[in-house]
Amino acid sequence: MKTTIAVFMAMAGLASAQTAVKHIQPGNGPIAQAVWAGDTLYVSGQLPSPVTPADRAKGTAADWGDTKTQGASALGKIEAILKEQGLSMGDVVKMTVFLLGDPKNENKMDFAGWNAAYSTYFGTKDQPNKPARSAVQVAALASVGPLVEVEVIAVKSAK
């Protein structure tokens, strides 16, 4: 009976515990850039920036670069968000990568190009940690032009 009461009281204590939640919402965008839930930071999907922006006056479209270039751009944005929150790429525990088929690659995702960008941030001498990761080819992204979108989950660990 004492064990049952102790278990019940422990469960009641867990039920009343609350996790602090903080939304990182710069600007007026429709989604949070990231959300803290306790010691875990959920970073929304990041798209790359164009290598050369579109020029309406000249009628030229944006140049987004290849998958490797776009992957490096998206990862650079994630690194900046993490740094602003006191974290680093070494704190990333989970990554989900959405890749569009590249017209220059028979509309197949350029997995090798993605891995080339990824390997400059993870599994290096300076940053040996590698997150759990999924990479999938998708039919479309929210914006026309990018081939890559990356979202991560990072955890602020006790040091």
Give CA angle at 131 (105, 24), nearest 5°: 95
CA distance 146 to 8: 52
Distances (CA, A) of 64 to 47, 76, 129: 10, 15, 28
Domain coordinates in residue numbering, the chain: 20-155
In the predicted model, is pLDDT for residue 64 greater than 80?
yes
Residues 6+ away with beta carbon under 8 Å from 121? 75, 79, 89, 127
Q: pLDDT (tens digit, 9 = 90+) per residue, 77-103?
A: 999 999 999 999 999 999 999 999 998
Per-residue model confidence as pLDDT tens digits over 105-146: 899 999 999 999 999 999 999 999 999 999 999 999 999 999
Q: What is the pTM of this model?
A: 0.86
Q: How far apart are CA 42 and CA 22, in angstroms?
A: 10
Q: What dotted CATH number matches 20-155?
A: 3.30.1330.40
Q: Contact at 8 Å (CB) between 138 and 132?
A: no
